[in-house]
């Protein structure tokens, strides 16, 4: 599955600015974490979801492949859970104020801890050595939004591979903030999901031009597998 081809003019601008199309192609797998954003029932299950993104269900096999490869190469896997609590209503009142009362209630019902909506999608390959991280804003790297950055640094990770949903909201917000807090960031072109391809592509282009790298799954898997073979 290939969901995104970088336009030639975008590639030319990246090459002129950076001298290479993939500045993080030499990432160290042992210092790399796969960060999976919001692949929860609340965004994937038509029965309990509050903002279902059908494309998110399609990327699950890709995310599982990446998770297995990252673990096998000595990296880490972090499953990030979008989480609502009562503090969000006052500390993030601007966001809630832009929703209807019905929308706010539906989000709270789907994203609160202990609800079915808050749980990870059951087809995800979550392993005991993986970590699960709650976040309380769109970005998992916004200071105070989660403890993900501290967990990553504590384990020596300096590179993050971003997958999940929605490409242009929580995934892109997390990816941008990760770069601005000094992580090397790779967004997976066929491992993120949005409401439609127009928004998906626009998000990846904006990120790629300034904030980090964009690779497809096969490119990343080749790099990870080459490292494992060289170490054998």
Q: Peptide bond preceding 151: is omega within 30 degrees of 0, i.e. cis?
A: no
Report yes or no: 152 and 141 within 8 Å, Cβ to Cβ. no
pLDDT at 44: 97
Q: What is the pLDDT of residues 6-43, one digit of tens each?
A: 899 999 999 999 999 999 999 999 999 999 999 999 99
Fold exhibited by the domain 8-231: Rossmann fold (3.40.50)
- pLDDT for 145 beyond 60: yes
pLDDT at 231: 66
Report yes or no: 160 and 135 within 8 Å, Cβ to Cβ. no
Return all residues near 97 (Cβ < 8 A) that are at least 6 apart: none
C-alpha 124: how far from chain center: 14
For the ranges 24-28, 97-101, 110-114, the one whose mean pLDDT is highest: 24-28
- The domain spans of the chain are 8-231
- Mean pLDDT in the chain? 94
Closest to 145 in 3D by CA, of 108, 188, 181, 109 = 181
Whole-model pTM: value is: 0.94
State what percent of residues in the chain have pLDDT above 90: 82
Mean pLDDT of 48-76: 96
Residue 186 confidence class, pLDDT cut points 50, 70, 90: very high
pLDDT at 2: 60
């Amino acid at each position: 599955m290939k969901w995104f081809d970088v336009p030639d003019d975008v590639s030319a601008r990246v090459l002129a600015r950076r001298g290479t199309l993939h500045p993080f192609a030499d990432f160290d797998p042992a210092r790399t974490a796969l960060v999976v954003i919001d692949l929860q029932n609340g965004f994937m299950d038509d029965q309990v979801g509050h903002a279902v993104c059908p494309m998110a269900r399609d990327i699950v096999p890709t995310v599982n492949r990446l998770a297995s490869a990252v673990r096998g190469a000595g990296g880490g896997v972090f499953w990030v859970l979008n989480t609502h609590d009562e503090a969000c209503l006052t500390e993030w009142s601007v966001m809630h104020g832009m929703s209807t009362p019905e929308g706010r209630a539906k989000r709270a019902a789907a994203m609160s801890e202990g609800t079915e909506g808050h749980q990870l999608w059951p087809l995800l390959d979550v392993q005991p050595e993986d970590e699960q991280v709650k976040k309380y804003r769109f970005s998992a790297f916004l200071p105070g939004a989660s403890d993900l950055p501290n967990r990553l640094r504590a384990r020596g990770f300096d590179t993050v591979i971003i997958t999940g949903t929605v490409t242009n909201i929580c995934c892109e917000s997390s990816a941008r903030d990760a770069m601005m807090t000094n992580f090397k960031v790779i967004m997976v072109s066929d491992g993120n999901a949005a409401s439609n391809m127009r928004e998906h592509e626009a998000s990846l282009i904006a990120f790629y031009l300034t904030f980090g790298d964009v690779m497809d799954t096969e490119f990343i898997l080749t790099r990870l597998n080459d490292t494992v073979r060289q170490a054998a």
